[in-house]
Structure 1
């Protein structure tokens, strides 16, 4: 004997991946937990680097100041009313649209850095990454909207209806953002590079300005006004103005007469199309 104690440690057991839940409720809970884990990663990133959120707010704040104080004196609302109150619901919707670029940038950055491929190699729900991305963007959009609402009040905007109607208006704005998030995720997954970011940033302005956000569509040429009326953003803006009790210009077309209905229908249709496309695209990424 050499005086050393024999190695009595048990052999290491192989590490097995977690078993995928079998029941539908168990799978749903598994996907929700994984989705929140992905979303929490982005929330922690914002807490460590809050200036990104502040810089994202700088542009809409400058837009409000420009339209209220530089251009507002030359603007008039058909039928009468304060232009600042007419403008702010449109600015709230514009912020929801400009969030598209942030979504595409985040998805593209994760892809180019290999984070998306790492997620795909892990034993997690295949929907967790896109759901987590959506949840994180909605949290950020809610914070941005709340801050911009406070700034709007500072420059003279207010709602005149009930608190319930105002909350419904804010809900419609976030519903539009929810639909646009799925479009942004899909573009980021399909165009995994700077091309997707450039495409969305190029389209944000025509989508936002070709609407009733800043001027009534009745002041546009007839054909252009018809295009603007059928912009989903226009339905959300018109519905928000109605719920806030702000000045609104109702057109004669069916789409403008049913703004509240279409402010719900448009986002639901977009989510129904792009959410499954996002999950399918993520499952079939080629690396």
Structure 2
């Protein structure tokens, strides 16, 4: 049974990788958009930003790395909604395939694309002054956490895409996901926010992952007098990822199976 699921998942992974080859625009946007945001935020707003540890661009890079991972919600949602609207999912349901394998293959391809997308952002970050100061083990842990978070957000996006079922609705919801990093410490510190907004931002899972990456990269740890997730960022980040996967993996598989009934 396990071999059957793995075989089907590999088949779906191959299908999605071939699909990306015929959609070069998606690949180009994945590679260039984070770099564009780094240059825009870092140089347009950077002169007006003052942070405690180092320059603003060094502060910004881990936030953009996590924001790139959060885009898994949008890309997975659009892919699932597109397959639903075009009848691809209906054709998959007629095949003797594992119901888990289809979203699993899609999320695996999404994580692989995200891993490639981290490369130009990291190189550009190094070029503008960001440094990895936490050692190889810390850096490996940070990148592993980024990919785990991308996996969790991709499963979340696939469920939403199956739920809405149309490209138009998924596109409108996808645009709203750009707001998620803004309500966190990805771009600006939370200590200057009003009390209620600071609480919302610090309990945003993105804030925990961003703080964990900054800590693991050696770019500064959590500040004093912060909410529990930001005070214990690595533990909270892993917990958020496990929670998202525990909720949305079974929901996605169940939704797919229900729609096939």
1:53 to 15, 24, 27: 27
> Unaligned 5+ residue runs, structure 1?
1-26
Q: Which is helix-richer, 1 or 2?
A: 2
Q: Distance in 1 between matches of 2:133 and 2:13?
A: 36
- Structure 1 counterpart of 2:144: 171
> Within 5 Å, which residues of 2 pair with 1:131-170?
131-170=104-143
Cα shift readout 1:4-27 (whole Å, capped 9, x = no counterpart): xxxxxxxxxxxxxxxxxxxxxxx1
Q: Is the 8 A contact 1:216 1:249 kept in 2?
A: no
Note the C-alpha offset of 1:249: 4.7
Count of residue pairs brought into register by the alignment: 259
Note the C-alpha offset of 1:42: 1.2
> Within 5 Å, which residues of 2 pair with 1:227-266?
227-252=200-225, 253-266=227-240
Query: Is 1:72 aligned to residue 30 of structure 2?
Result: no
The structure with the largest alpha-carbon Rg is 1
> Within 5 Å, which residues of 2 pair with 1:57-206?
57-77=31-51, 79-193=52-166, 194-202=168-176, 204-206=177-179
Note the C-alpha offset of 1:226: 0.6
Cα shift readout 1:112-171 (whole Å, capped 9, x = no counterpart): 111110000001111111111111111111111122212211222111111111010111
- Structure 2 counterpart of 1:43: 17
121-130 or 150-159, larger mean C-alpha shift: 150-159
Q: Distance in 2 between matches of 1:286 and 1:127?
A: 13
Q: Is the 8 A contact 2:181 2:187 kept in 1?
A: no
- Structure 1 counterpart of 2:197: 224
Q: Distance in 2 between matches of 1:80 and 1:280?
A: 46
Note the C-alpha offset of 1:265: 0.4
2:245 to 253, 257, 271: 271
Q: Distance in 2 between matches of 1:31 and 1:80?
A: 47
Q: Is the 8 A contact 1:39 1:135 kept in 2?
A: yes
Q: Is the 8 A contact 2:35 2:120 kept in 1?
A: no
Note the C-alpha offset of 1:286: 5.3
Q: Is the 8 A contact 2:93 2:260 kept in 1?
A: no
The secondary structure found in structure 2 opposite 1:125 is coil
Q: Distance in 2 between matches of 1:168 and 1:273?
A: 24
Q: Distance in 1 between matches of 2:39 and 2:96?
A: 49
The secondary structure found in structure 2 opposite 1:84 is helix
Q: 1:72 to 1:104 in 2, by over 3 A?
A: same
58-67 or 271-280, larger mean C-alpha shift: 58-67
Q: Distance in 2 between matches of 1:250 and 1:175?
A: 24
Q: Is the 8 A contact 2:222 2:231 kept in 1?
A: no
TM-score (norm 2): 0.95
Q: Distance in 1 between matches of 2:175 and 2:25?
A: 20
154-163 or 52-61, larger mean C-alpha shift: 52-61
Q: Is the 8 A contact 1:213 1:237 kept in 2?
A: yes
